[in-house]
Structures are given as structure tokens and as C-alpha cells.
A and B are shown apart, each in its own frame.
Chain A
Amino acid sequence: NAGVTQTPKFQVLKTGQSMTLQCAQDMNHEYMSWYRQDPGMGLRLIHYSVGAGITDQGEVPNGYNVSRSTTEDFPLRLLSAAPSQTSVYFCASSRQDEQFFGPGTRLTVL
């Protein structure tokens, strides 16, 4: 049981490039979400999903897209990376209340 996994662990992009952050969970959790954490800050909700085929926007959705084609996977797409998107990205999943977090992806946009 791997829990919540995220790839890559580190990524450097140039402004304007696109990429996908991967998130997967093997706990059959319905709920999944993406957060970003800037230095010295709390986690801000980007997008979340309450089940396969259902997604919704969080606090800071601009510049990011998500889809949920399976229960296990919830990828986050950066359409055109900007320096303001430099952050640590955490994926989380939950069945009811407790959220389980992945190890995070540290993204730098130059």
C-alpha cells in the first residue's frame, strides 16, 4: 500500500512551458485535491475532485487544469508556467474526513 504518490519530486521549468504533475493513490479514496504551499505560508487549495469525472475549483485555480478519469489518478496541468507558480505542490486524498498527503513536488519556474 503506497498511499499517495507524486511525481516528479523536483522540476525546473522555463516561463511558458507546460507540464503535468502526477498524483496517484491506491486507497480507493473518492476525494482528491491539489494544494500549493509558498515559503512560510499555509496550503492553498487549487482544485479538488469528489469522484471520477467530477472536479471543482479551489481558492487559486487560475493557470491550472485538472481531470479525474479514474479513482486513482488526479493529474495537475500547468498550461503556461509563470514564475509566480514556483511553489511546493501537494496532492491529498480522503475517504471521509482525514486527508492523506503525498510527499510533494518542488517546482521552480525561471
Chain B
Amino acid sequence: GENVEQHPSTLSVQEGDSAVIKCTYSDSASNYFPWYKQELGKRPQLIIDIRSNVGEKKDQRIAVTLNKTAKHFSLHITETQPEDSAVYFCAPRSGTYKYIFGTGTRLKVLA
């Protein structure tokens, strides 16, 4: 079956620093690459996504980069703030509607 790995599993950064989380997937047919943020006790919410025909996408302090050849995509958060503290999940899509979630990265932004 499909395999999705996220690294690191935990990440602590000082407020104002940058954070990078990497997601590696195995299915070469994957065509959609989202990142979700989940705060404690809440539902996952989409923060940024990218499609297979695009290499990079940016939305204010958040960016996603995709390397389809190497089968990985990364989440970049610049100028981190305490409210960025949460668990982040990648969930590449295989086929029409089959999203496989990574195991998550717990980001702590230290004030």
C-alpha cells in the first residue's frame, strides 16, 4: 500500500524563526499534496495545498514546495508565531479520492 512519512516528528523553534517539515510518499500517481494544521482537541484544517503540475506555492508566511521526481513535498513556515504551535499533517492523494495522512509533526514555537 501507499507509504507516507513525515519528518521531523517534533520541532521546537524560537518565535520569529523558520520551520520546515518534510513529507515523503511512495505512490508515484499522487496528484494533490495538502498540509493540514490540527490544534489540540480540534479538527484538521487545510492551510495550504499544491497540485502536481506546480513546484511551489506561497500564502503569506506559509509555503509548500513539491519535488515529484524525488516524491517529497515540504511545508515552510517563516516568522513563526506562538499561534503556529500545533500538529501538522501531510496527506498526499492517490487516485481520485484516497488521502493517506502522515503521522504528524508537533511544532512548538517558543516565545
Contact = CB atoms under 8 A, between A and B. Distances in A.
Interface in B31-70: 32, 34, 43-46, 49, 51
Interface of B: 1, 6, 32, 34, 43-46, 49, 51, 89, 91, 93, 96-104
A72 to B, nearest CB: 17
B89 A94 contact: no
A42 B43 contact: no
Interface of A: 31, 33, 35, 40-45, 48, 50, 56, 58-59, 90, 94, 97-99, 101-104
Contacts of B49: 97-98
A45 B96 contact: no
B34 A42 contact: no
Contacts of B91: 43, 99
A40 B38 CA distance: 12
Given A33-B97, A59-B1, A41 B43 contact: no
A98 B34 contact: yes
B97 A50 contact: yes
